[in-house]
Amino acid sequence: MTTIHACGKNGWAECTVCRGRIHQVGCTTRKRPQIDCCQLRHRILHDTGQTTGLDDRSQMMLGTGQTI
């Protein structure tokens, strides 16, 4: 069963690849690619030349064969 909740109430987890806010499954908070970790945010950063993670350079911005 998925719990419905609003992430961020107790702070946000942050993606080490894109520095976006991470939403948990069932989150009801509106998601925005400008600040939230999502495939679109990763694609936007990749397309601007950021191919590796912002904080973890061992991680690729897009996974192998990943497309949006």
pLDDT in tens, 15-38: 999 999 998 887 888 889 999 999
Domain locations in the chain as residue ranges: 1-62
pTM over 0.85: no
Reported confidence tier of residue 1, pLDDT bands at 50, 70, 90: very low
Predicted pLDDT of residue 25: 80
What is the DSSP track for 1-68? Answer: -PPPB-TBBTB-EE-TTT-PEEPPTTB-SPP-TTTB-SHHHHHHHHHTT--B-SS-TTSBSS-TT---
